Structure 1
Amino acid sequence: MEIIQMSKKELRRGEVISKTVNGDLTQKKASQELSISLRQIKRLCKRFRKAGLEGLAHRSRGKSSQRKMNPSTRAEVLGFIKNDYPDFGPQLVKEQLERRNQIKVSREWIRRLMIDEGIWKVKKRKNIRFYQRRNRRSQEGELIQIDGSPEYWFENRDPKCCLINMVDDATGKLMELRFVREECLEGYFLGMKRYIETHGRPLALYSDRHTIFKSPKAKEKPKLTQFGRAMKELDIELIHANSPQAKGRVERAHGTLQDRLIKLMKGVGERGRWCIVHNLGTTCRRGN
């Protein structure tokens, strides 16, 4: 005797269709009871007369999906992940597979594959404190968020250094990236010099309250730092943020770069690093 697997919904539908076929219930009443169209009721009645209750079971049950990934492709992708991208996240793996290996698969499929293989762990969402959003500036170049991120960017291959990051407030683009030994005045001056030569003079800069940007004696007597005097001569307004959340675009960019840039720079030479840093604009925005 063959066993037919049916859901509760299908069994309920079978009872109503059986009554309809036997003449105990009109098709209109059956349509209202099952919340489906009259046309669908007629179709189900036809299937019931032809195959009985079995005809109402879902026809795809027990069959493999037509969208199922080819086992050879699955094995190939898994090999690339384990050998070349062992500590990459699903989105970054997807991008690198398309760019380096010419394999196009969805991010969600990669995520599920990595979870099944124990490579990726599902992260619990943290309790996020929400802040009132400040409206973006209307045009590119009006306001630039600037900050430095000290980190072991080259892991154990080089000593700890600082990445000077400049993000446009209107578009979220990474406008300037520069590695310096430490967060210092010279690094910010070189970054501003290259930004102005490439993009022109911005209207304003949005920074934290580091002593490079704001004098610690400013409360007692208004006093500009050397960086502040230079910006005043260039007619660039210098705005100081009261919290890291206030300049969230550059802070989020730091988080994305600390995750992606360190991994992408593994095993590449000096020119390879230069190419990666100078092509990170769209990558970082997708990551955020």
Structure 2
Amino acid sequence: MHRTALVTLNMRELDRLKVIQAVVDMGLKPGRAAERLGLTVRQIERLVIRYRESGAGGLASRKRGGPGNRRLDPGAADRALSIIRDRYADFGPTLACEKFWECHGIRLAKETVRKLMTDAGLWIPRRQRPPKVYQPRARRSCLGELIQIDGSDHRWFEDRAPACTLLVYVDDATSRRMMRHFTQTRLPRHRWPSDPARSRSPPHSFRIE
């Protein structure tokens, strides 16, 4: 009688358990069991032996709970981390992974490199980074010190003319619209107009959005 223990089986292993129990307890032929599970008769016989020796636990994967095939041994992990510290400490995991293969002939999974760098404090996962704080830019203090230019592409004249860009010039200090005009490009290529009636002198600087 098997000692009671907690056994974890996945869906495939549960299907195997039902069929192997039928072989042992209900006389299901190994050949029929092999057809149901897509295995050979010899594999069924091995599963029956394991079930009789260990119960349901004998059908659980023997690799479960052990180190994965892709896990680096400690020596290889130490060598990889040494290379990262010496040459790629300021790289991201993806680029460091590419450099391992290009420059050292070492093929590592990106997630392996990411874990090595994270554990060593060389990389901070995005979800753990503090949010960026953007300070609002202070407005200029004087009219004409900075003019911001914004463009909007549209068929402003419908079918009467080709599509063009409306450029709007806004003073940064006062939010006042200084000028508007149409052009074929977002880059302003005209001279700032002289307007003696309004004493409008050329702005000190422009900013194109």
Bin for the TM-score computed over the shorter chain: 0.3 to 0.5
Q: TM-score, normalised by structure 1?
A: 0.34
